Amino acid sequence: MSGKVPGRSNLLGLNRSELEAFVATLGAKPYRARQLLKWIYRRGESDFARMTDLAKDFRAQLADVAEVSVPEIVSARTSADGTRKWLLRMPGAAGNEQVIETIFIPEPGRGTLCISSQIGCALDCSFCATGQQGFNRNLTSAEIIGQVWLANRELGREPDGERVITNVVLMGMGEPLANYKNVLPAMQLMLDDLAYDLSRRRVTLSTSGLVPQIYRLAEDSNVALAVSLHAPNDKLRDELVPINRKHPIAELLAASWHYLERQNGRSVTFEYTMLDGINDQPGHARELAVLLRGHDAKVNLIPFNTFPGTRYRRSPAATIDRFRDLLAQGGVMATVRRTRGDDIDAACGQLRGQVLDRTLVRLGSKMVRLAVRA
């Protein structure tokens, strides 16, 4: 966090009840917390002195004990297709410096922000650049919501005053359900009408399948759920998504249907990265259709995004289209995700921050990359 002063509480990332509890420690009424929410998130203000409807004494008191500390931007790039990518500096677990990535994808009528939840990822999916990087640490809730805060500041408003970020997806670096405790308050702030006020259908959590946490989420939140399936049977999924050995497909699907029912959701999206010759054959499509038909499920086919050192290749476009058609014939709706921002390495699964790629250091039993800026 830039400007993080030791001993001061960072108010960024506290959800409404946590902020109410905080202002209570200063002897202030709960409505002060509501005012703070509006200032920090709706108006993007980080300086208490400028929060003019707070009493002067209260502002001074806040400035003594608290701060709104946001991550620091290392670099910003814009792709030919308008996709934007920010690299944010983060202190790493071993005291070294790391970077994470936040991506903004503009489309007609909507703007999607793709945020990270961890530095690296421990789950080691074989086709994912983040997984290959290893795990460094969880992001704090301030660092998670701080990505939305910063992107909002950088993007401003549309000329007509409309907001630019209409959707947030937790599909950047990391497995959000492995960082449940920090992801939940950040998502609550995305939905809170005094903070970002996004509708529950416009916030999507993507998971590779941490089954117990999906049940927990069903009690705590109602955001849209995306599940990274990538294979129609356990034999293949064990290979691609190793967490499947712990939580096989049948359990994962049961948890997904439970979530949908408990939260009265519209559908679960199943992500399926198309790997040439691996999971893209007609037989796989038919097997997948049998698994999903009759449920409120949508399949999102993601053309594999390559990265240095990977053994996989992207399925040809014709193979992906045929796979989609076979799913449709099998009664399952599928769409093909258009790849965006790949000229700036901002596409799915390419998120590992090129600046990280210079030096490897040992952290416990793992090799992690030390951020050395180019």
Chain residues binding ligand SF4 by CB under 6 A are 121, 123-125, 128, 130-131, 174-175, 208, 228
Interface residue with ligand SAH, options 206, 213, 221, 269 (CB under 6 A)? 206
Asked if 96 and 371 count as a contact pair (C-beta separation under 8 A), the reply is yes
Known catalytic membership, residue 287 = no
Catalytic residue among 67, 101, 143, 271: 101
Mapping DSSP to helix (H, G, I), strand (E, B) and coil, where does residue 371 land? coil
348 binds, among ligand SAH, ligand SF4, none (CB under 5 to 8 A by kind): ligand SAH
The answer to whether 304 contacts ligand SAH (rule: CB under 6 A) is yes
For residues 350 and 130, is the Cβ–Cβ distance under 8 A? Answer: no
CB atoms within 10 A of CB 44: 14
Q: If contact means CB under 5 to 8 A according to the sort of partner, which of ligand SAH, ligand SF4, none does residue 273 touch?
A: ligand SAH
Q: Smallest distance from the beta carbon of 123 to ligand SF4, in angstroms? A: 4
101 is catalytic: yes
Q: Which stretch binds ligand SAH (CB under 6 A): 14-22, 92-100, 297-305, 359-367?
A: 297-305
Helix (H) or strand (E) holding 251: helix 249-262
Smallest separation, CB 266 to ligand SAH (Å): 19
3-state helix, strand, coil in the chain (%, to 5): 40, 25, 40
Radius of gyration of the chain (CA): 21
Q: Residue 156: count other Cβ atoms within 10 Å of its Cβ.
A: 10
Q: How far is the CB of 175 from ligand SF4 (least distance, A)?
A: 4
Q: Which phi and psi angles does 57 have, rounded to 5°?
A: -60, -40
Q: Least CB distance from residue 126 to ligand SAH, whole Å?
A: 9
User: Residue 124 or 276: which CB sits closer to ligand SF4?
Assistant: 124
Gap between the Cα atoms of 316 and 278, Å rounded: 12
The residue length of the chain stands at 374
| Contact footprint for ligand SAH (CB under 6 A) | 125, 127-129, 171, 175, 206-208, 228, 271, 273, 302, 304-305, 348-349
**Catalytic residue positions?**
101, 348
